[in-house]
Structure 1
Amino acid sequence: MTFIKLEELRARQRLNYDSFVIKHHLDKLLRPIEEYNKNFAIPNSSIKERIGVTDELVEKLRELRASQVCTDNSTIPHSLQHEFPIKLSTVICNDKHLFELTTYFINTLVAYIRTNDCHEYLSTIAKVLSNHLKTFTTHSSLAPYQLSYINRLVSEVLKICESHTEILTDWLSEVTFSTTTASGVCRHGVSLLPIQQIIENFLTNELETFKTANWENFIKLSQNSPELSDYLCSQQISVFDEMIKLYFFPSQEYQLLHISVLEPVLSAVITIMENSSTPVGSHYFGKFVTMFRKHLNLRGSHTDDSVVFILHTLLNLGATTTLNRLVDDFHFQLYLNDKLQDHQSLETFLYVLSKILYKQDQGFLKLSSTKNRTQMLIHNSNFMHYLRIKVKKIHNDDAEQVSHRFTDILTQYSSSLEPYIVDTHSALIFQYFKLLLQYFQNKPSLDTSLNQLSLMMFLKFNMHHNATFIEVVNYLIVSYELYHHHMKLYEMYQYDPIESSKIVAQCVTPPDSEILSYYGVENSAKCINYVALPLQLELCKQLITDLYICCKLKPDG
């Protein structure tokens, strides 16, 4: 027992001695730092004086580094109890040697914070990091050799803030206190946090070199920091406005380039809206959609390309919340309805819609589904029997092709099966049904896009319960049989120049049906394009087969 007490006493004495030694070394730095900062604050100090105080501080910092007092995990807690780290963090480095030494100690501290429990010293750490970051907020005064360090430092500090949101709270409490008006309203017209100032400076001046990761990670912190969320929402103007403006209304140097060049900017904007707190996401989306509407007013192919690129990027990033917000926007819905009636852009938008339905069906459902259960009126077993007979006939009783397709769909898309109810009154579904009714008047490339969308429709919706759709399919099958008959006739006489000429010149009237007038589909006699018809017949065959297979995969199929 006596031995243990003696060891404890020796350990305590050793600790006291270590504290004394560390304090002794750190005390020697206080005066040089104070002299340096005082000289740096004098605008017209002589070069000789500036060099003198700089050299002295460099010398003392080198001595401290050589002593290894502030580089060991066991000694760093002692240094955090001393005023040295806070004093050092205020040093603005105008000399490369001083910069290297100062950042050496800051890096050592940052590495320690990342790997050790520092809750006891968070207030000091917050002050040190804030002071040090503040020395880099004037971008024009930074030397090229400092840029990589600053970008990396910001990244490390963001990771620390992610683990210790109290640091953000400390920073923001000072900012809020200093900017609250007499009426108690807090408005931040500019970015006041040093870390945000640096991030925005880099976005403005160093975007191509250092990208947007730090910006994205900074805004993401709002998910776990209500204070940061409130602070960001209170900023009326921010770099976010500049970034969305850069994408929608690029400067002259970007205007002649393809929109994909600005993909990193768009991805960052979407990521920020998606990964921020709900209030910040809504705040930023409001800015985004305002600029988006102005962009839509421009019209033209560039606008269409830009919108398609936005939709693809939303899908690639899995930005469900942002996509749902966008499709909820009335102006976007009007624009989309226009595009679905514009044959120049129709194929592209059908393809994108099929991707949305496949990857993020909730966004598509906002445009095409209904909660009105009365539309789910029928379970038509006669239709399924009719469809099965027609599929057999189309495939000449060859079940192998159907079996292979069945396996493909089951393997690739079984997880996509849903029992959604289609809204036949929505503008999107109205246009979709119309395109099916004029399938053989479309271009084959359009029918290819239509097939891609149709497969997703058949998987996601209980189409075989919808009376209107059944009528559309009946018409499509009758049309297939008519054009298939004419194709066989043409093939029979294709080597007879006289007869084949007559067949090619013959005008053929599509099948008639009451549903055509409802959807505004013309039913006039036209010559058949026998070059394109084989592909259209094959595509229609696939569409009808896919419908049958998807219906069979449903529980009531």
Structure 2
Amino acid sequence: MKPIEEYRRNYETPNASLLERKHYIDDLVLKLRDLAKIEELAGSSNQKSKNDYISIMIHHGFYHEIAGLETSDLDLFEQISHFMKLLLEFALKLREAGEKCQDTEYDVIAIGEILGYHLFTFTQPYQHQYQIIGYKLTYLHRFITETLKFCQDFPLQIFQIWLPIDQLNTSLLASNFTNYVNQLASYDDKLPIFNILKSMLLYNHQYQEECCSNWVKLNHLTKKSPELEEYLMNRTDLIEHFLKLYYANLFQSNNNSDPENQKILTRLLLPTMEFCSTDIRHVYYNEIFIKRFEYAMSNYRIDVDKLVNSILTAFQEIDTPEILQQFITNEAMLKYMICKFEKRQLHLNQLLNHLTFIMEKRDPALIELLGIQDHSTNQTLQAMSNVATQTMNIVENNTNIVSSRYKQIIMQHSSAIKANRFDAKLPFSNSFLKLLLQFFHHSPELNESLVHFMSQFVMKFNVLDNPPFMIIITYLYASFDTYQEQWRKFENYRFDSIELKKLQNIPVIIPGDELLKRYDVPSMKYLNYQTLPRNLQLFKSIIIDLYVCCKLRIIIKDQV
């Protein structure tokens, strides 16, 4: 410790020349190198000797002194970084050694102070992260990663040291560091690891991915540290900055899903909100993220389809189930989806594709909108018989088609078969039924997306004894029968232009006016013979999947 005290005293002499200061630096470097050699010899015999040596250096104050050294000299920084790396190696073994060593608590407090002092050397008022020399950035990135691992082992102790409430609430061992922190002029300066990560994220794209990961890890620790939680609740500036940046980039770009902009969501915003504490999530999500989203949804100048597509695409790329469920059930998002379904607006197939993915991979998020989680399987034999009859009629008794799909679902999706209860009275369920009722009104492109969604839907929901759903299926089945007969006539008259024109002008009425009125759906009197054959084929897929999933549900119930 004395060589460092002597160095500080000489180096900070007001009238010292640059040459003299360089001499003081070189002298300290030589002494630190000698000390490093001694440490190397101590550790050459066994790991215990090395750990004992580092522990002695901690207890004698050496690490407190070297941790607070600031320098732009490469040789001196190399020595500082060498000893700090050794300290972290020692620190990361403390959890394992804790039960065997009585000094662990002292070491944790002391190391917490030392790491804090060292981090402060990178956040002095005159320093900005983008101005720090490259080799320091490389070291600092690794140092923060390892420091966060130590914080994960001892979150309560470390953040009580780093963010002391007052001197009375901190142990005497940490009192010097407490005084140092409490004397800082700005509250924002009190947690250097936050400010370093912020600067790296803003200015050093070289470490963007790793910094995002470390930022998420820091926020994750709010679940274990009340002090960190309180501090971050008052430091929302980084989240606000990146959310503004995301919106600006999104609406300035012609690309619907710019990969770099998407990373703001997938690497930073969504995982941060998913893994932080409940109170922090309320601030990040409810007060910042969702308010900005709701404002955008109510702004007629904003392309809301582009925004929703971008956010739902991000949810496909990262597994954040709790935030997804909050987002998908948000009132503004729910109104958007219902409007899309009921008015069959542009990009509806895009929305359906996203919902299909959610239903398949993150189904709890959608179950709340369509019904309730349930495990009972109430399927009457009569209802099953009706679906079986419809299926055989549709495939014209070609059982190979059904058995092929049966095998495919068993092989690929058997674990997805559930018995959730569908509630047709829910607003989103009602709009979904309305969309399904208009199946033969849709373009084949939209129906392809709807069929994929329906496939996942009938796997997750037991709908066989749900009257509103089965009434619509029965209506569509009757429509299929009538429309298929019309298509056969169309094929017969294909080369008879007079009869063909007559056929195209004849209204095709399907009984069910009351059903159409209930859902405010106009009847389709005239068929589009260009899209009809493809839609007939697609409807077969719906009935086959409905039958197969209901059949599997019965088999699974019998096996339990």
**Which TM-score bucket, shorter chain as reference?**
0.7 to 0.9
The equivalent of 2:347 in structure 1 is: 345
The equivalent of 1:443 in structure 2 is: 443
2:112 counterpart of 1:126: yes
Shift of 1:378: 8.6
The equivalent of 1:476 in structure 2 is: 476
CA separation in 2, counterparts of 1:251 and 1:346?
20
Specify whether residues 142 and 308 from structure 1 end up closer, same or farther in structure 2 by C-alpha distance, changes over 3 A only: same
Amino acid paired to 2:93: T
CA separation in 2, counterparts of 1:278 and 1:162?
18
Specify whether residues 34 and 368 from structure 1 end up closer, same or farther in structure 2 by C-alpha distance, changes over 3 A only: farther
Superposition pairs for residues 408-487 of structure 1, below 5 Å?
408-487=408-487
CA RMSD across the alignment: 3.0
- How high is the TM-score relative to the length of structure 1? 0.85
Q: What are the Cα deviations for residues 200-229 of structure 1, in whole angstroms up to 9, with x where unaligned?
A: 111121245433111111111222223322
Superposition pairs for residues 226-375 of structure 1, below 5 Å?
226-233=226-233, 235=234, 237-250=236-249, 258-267=257-266, 268-286=268-286, 287-299=288-300, 302-340=303-341, 341-369=343-371
Amino acid paired to 1:106: M
CA separation in 1, counterparts of 2:142 and 2:273?
24
Q: What are the Cα deviations for residues 398-438 of structure 1, in whole angstroms up to 9, with x where unaligned?
A: 11111111111222222222222222122221221112221
The equivalent of 2:18 in structure 1 is: 47
The equivalent of 1:155 in structure 2 is: 145
Amino acid paired to 1:540: F
Specify whether residues 256 and 320 from structure 1 end up closer, same or farther in structure 2 by C-alpha distance, changes over 3 A only: closer
Q: Is the 8 A contact 1:110 1:156 kept in 2?
A: yes
Q: Is the 8 A contact 1:89 1:131 kept in 2?
A: yes
Specify whether residues 75 and 541 from structure 1 end up closer, same or farther in structure 2 by C-alpha distance, changes over 3 A only: same
Specify whether residues 338 and 369 from structure 1 end up closer, same or farther in structure 2 by C-alpha distance, changes over 3 A only: same
* Partner SS state of residue 421, structure 1: strand
2:75 counterpart of 1:97: yes
Amino acid paired to 1:330: E
Specify whether residues 160 and 383 from structure 1 end up closer, same or farther in structure 2 by C-alpha distance, changes over 3 A only: same
2:36 counterpart of 1:65: yes
The equivalent of 2:56 in structure 1 is: 78
* Partner SS state of residue 92, structure 2: helix
* Partner SS state of residue 529, structure 1: coil
Shift of 1:62: 2.8
Shift of 1:516: 0.4
CA separation in 1, counterparts of 2:377 and 2:193?
60
CA separation in 2, counterparts of 1:377 and 1:27?
78
Specify whether residues 371 and 68 from structure 1 end up closer, same or farther in structure 2 by C-alpha distance, changes over 3 A only: closer
CA separation in 2, counterparts of 1:405 and 1:315?
26
The equivalent of 1:184 in structure 2 is: none
CA separation in 2, counterparts of 1:318 and 1:311?
12
Q: What are the Cα deviations for residues 320-365 of structure 1, in whole angstroms up to 9, with x where unaligned?
A: 1112222342222222222323420211112222222222222112
* Partner SS state of residue 554, structure 1: helix
Amino acid paired to 1:153: F
Specify whether residues 206 and 397 from structure 1 end up closer, same or farther in structure 2 by C-alpha distance, changes over 3 A only: same
Shift of 1:275: 1.1
> 417-426 or 377-386: which moved more?
377-386
Q: Is the 8 A contact 1:33 1:88 kept in 2?
A: no
Specify whether residues 380 and 253 from structure 1 end up closer, same or farther in structure 2 by C-alpha distance, changes over 3 A only: closer
Amino acid paired to 1:61: L
- How high is the TM-score relative to the length of structure 2? 0.84
Specify whether residues 320 and 417 from structure 1 end up closer, same or farther in structure 2 by C-alpha distance, changes over 3 A only: same
Shift of 1:167: 4.4
Specify whether residues 95 and 422 from structure 1 end up closer, same or farther in structure 2 by C-alpha distance, changes over 3 A only: same
Shift of 1:195: 1.0
The equivalent of 1:18 in structure 2 is: none
CA separation in 2, counterparts of 1:256 and 1:202?
26
2:87 counterpart of 1:109: yes
The equivalent of 2:192 in structure 1 is: 194
Q: Is the 8 A contact 1:126 1:170 kept in 2?
A: no
CA separation in 2, counterparts of 1:360 and 1:252?
28
> 156-165 or 326-335: which moved more?
326-335
- How high is the sequence identity, in percent, across the aligned residues? 26
Q: Is the 8 A contact 1:274 1:322 kept in 2?
A: yes
Q: What are the Cα deviations for residues 131-182 of structure 1, in whole angstroms up to 9, with x where unaligned?
A: 1111111325511221111111100100111112254234344266699xxx
Q: Is the 8 A contact 1:71 1:108 kept in 2?
A: no
CA separation in 1, counterparts of 2:373 and 2:85?
58
Q: Is the 8 A contact 1:58 1:98 kept in 2?
A: yes
The equivalent of 1:203 in structure 2 is: 201
Structure 2: gaps spanning 5 or more residues: 44-49, 98-103, 170-185
Q: Is the 8 A contact 2:239 2:269 kept in 1?
A: yes
CA separation in 1, counterparts of 2:394 and 2:249?
52
* Partner SS state of residue 249, structure 2: coil
CA separation in 1, counterparts of 2:9 and 2:114?
16
Q: Is the 8 A contact 1:168 1:228 kept in 2?
A: no
Q: Is the 8 A contact 1:347 1:445 kept in 2?
A: yes
CA separation in 2, counterparts of 1:551 and 1:434?
22
Shift of 1:261: 2.4
Amino acid paired to 2:155: T
The equivalent of 1:494 in structure 2 is: 494
Q: Is the 8 A contact 1:69 1:75 kept in 2?
A: no
CA separation in 2, counterparts of 1:404 and 1:222?
51
The equivalent of 2:10 in structure 1 is: 35
Specify whether residues 203 and 53 from structure 1 end up closer, same or farther in structure 2 by C-alpha distance, changes over 3 A only: same
Q: Is the 8 A contact 2:250 2:261 kept in 1?
A: no
The equivalent of 1:139 in structure 2 is: 128
The equivalent of 2:391 in structure 1 is: 391
Q: What are the Cα deviations for residues 21-47 of structure 1, in whole angstroms up to 9, with x where unaligned?
A: xxxxx54443124433x35xx6x8643
Q: What are the Cα deviations for residues 349-396 of structure 1, in whole angstroms up to 9, with x where unaligned?
A: 1222222222222211221215999xx999554332222112111111
